[in-house]
């Protein structure tokens, strides 16, 4: 019985060391990083985005006197390109490519009583700051599920307030809102590894992708997610185009 147990114990150590070696091995891949790029489009007629009545706060309605604000759940640009879609690698990453945190601070601004950008993607533990450019009080109130490890908080930002700097501990799509201006609604998309967000034409490029085979996921707030398999050669560019169907 004793030998049986110790044999099993040795085996399990070997398994652990092997897995550890696999993880460490990925660091070597830092050189020859490639990209994944493509376009995200909407197929069909874009849903009508309602105008926002900001009359509750004269500061806000004045700011939009000549340029009325609309909801931003689905923003379609030229040629059907979808803006604000977050693309990230959901499978195939390991080692430092997965755990490395960008040093760049992501910025979420409150300007003219809307969030800019409407969707802010960031890495787990990446710093982000919430700034205000407005002469009216906002409260910045993200509402994650505390069971994931991300804790909800709620801070005021009166005119001229200094930025609120924070980070998130776990991957999650977190809604954020201002209770004072109930139309202000946006998203923090917290992921692990390299990511990108589509521009006004629906184009994106995920940089710093080590060579390998991956599953890329595209997230859109109304249309949920789609995935695709992509292979990236050393220093090369993998391509993945997505099309969401209008409901």
Partner 1 sequence: MRTRLGKWSLLLPAAALLALPGISSAQLTQQDLAQKLTAESHVANMTGHAKSAAADYRRYCVGCHGELGDGNGENAVWLDPKPRNFQLGVFKCRSTPTGTLPTDSDLFDSIGRGFDRSNMPIWNTLTKQQRVDLVAWIKHFSPRWANEKSGDPITIPPEPEVTPERIKAGREVFARVQCWKCHGVAGQANGPSASTLTDDLGRPILPYNFTEGSRPKCGDTDKDIYRIFMTGLDGTPMPSFADNIKPEEAWDLVFYLRTFMAQPSKEKAMAKQLGLKPVDPNAPAGQQ
Residues that bind partner 1 (CB under 8 A): 1, 4-5, 7-9, 11-12, 15-16, 19, 56-58, 135-137, 139-141, 143, 145-149, 151-159, 161-162, 164, 170-171, 179-182
Closer CB to partner 1, residue 31 or residue 147?
147
Give 82-109 as a DSSP string.
BSS-EEEEEES--THHHH----SPEEEE
Closest CB to partner 1 among residues 137, 237: 137
In terms of CB distance, is 16 or 24 closer to partner 1?
Answer: 16
Instruction: Name the strand (E) or helix (H) holding 125.
Output: none
Please say whether the beta carbons of 108 and 131 come within 8 A. yes
Q: Which is nearer to partner 1, 66 or 162 (CB)?
A: 162
- Smallest separation (angstroms) from partner 1 to the CB of 119: 20
CB of 152: closest distance to partner 1 in angstroms?
Answer: 6
Sheet strand arrangement including 212-220:
195-197, 86-91, 212-220, 224-232
CB of 208 to partner 1, least distance (A): 21
- Listed residue (54, 89, 56, 37) closest to 199, CA to CA: 37
DSSP 77: -
By beta-carbon proximity to partner 1, the closer residue of 1 and 31 is 1
Q: Give the nearer residue to partner 1 in terms of CB position, either 79 or 146.
A: 146
Q: How far is the CB of 98 from partner 1 (least distance, A)?
A: 10
Sheet holding 164-166, edge to edge: 114-116, 106-111, 128-132, 164-166
- Work out how close the CB of 19 gets to partner 1 at its nearest, in angstroms, rounded to a whole number: 6
Q: Kindly list the distances between the CA atom of residue 175 and the CA atoms of 5, 140, 145, in Å, as whole numbers in the listed order.
A: 50, 11, 10
CB of 237 to partner 1, least distance (A): 28
């Amino acid at each position: 019985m004793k030998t049986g147990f110790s044999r099993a114990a040795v085996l399990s150590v070997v398994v652990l060391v092997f897995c550890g070696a696999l993880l460490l091995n990925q660091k070597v891949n830092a050189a020859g990083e490639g990209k994944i790029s493509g376009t995200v489009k909407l197929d069909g007629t874009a849903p009508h985005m309602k105008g926002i009545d900001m009359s509750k706060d004269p500061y806000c309605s004045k700011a939009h006197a000549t340029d009325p604000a609309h909801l931003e759940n689905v923003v379609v640009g030229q040629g059907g390109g979808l803006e604000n879609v977050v693309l990230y690698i959901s499978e195939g990453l390991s080692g430092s490519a997965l755990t490395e945190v960008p040093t760049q601070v992501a910025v979420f601004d409150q300007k003219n009583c809307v969030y800019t950008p409407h969707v802010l993607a960031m890495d787990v533990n990446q710093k982000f700051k919430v700034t205000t450019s407005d002469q009216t009080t906002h409260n910045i109130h993200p509402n994650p599920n505390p069971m994931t490890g991300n804790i909800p908080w709620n801070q005021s930002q009166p005119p001229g307030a200094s930025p609120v700097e924070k980070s998130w501990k776990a991957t999650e799509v977190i809604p954020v809102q201002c209770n004072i201006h109930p139309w202000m609604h946006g998203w923090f998309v917290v992921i692990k590894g390299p990511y990108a967000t589509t521009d006004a034409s629906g184009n994106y490029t995920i940089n710093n992708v080590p060579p390998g085979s991956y599953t890329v996921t595209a997230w859109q707030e109304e249309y949920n997610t789609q995935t695709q398999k992509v292979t990236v050669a050393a220093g090369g560019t993998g391509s993945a185009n997505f099309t969401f169907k209008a409901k």
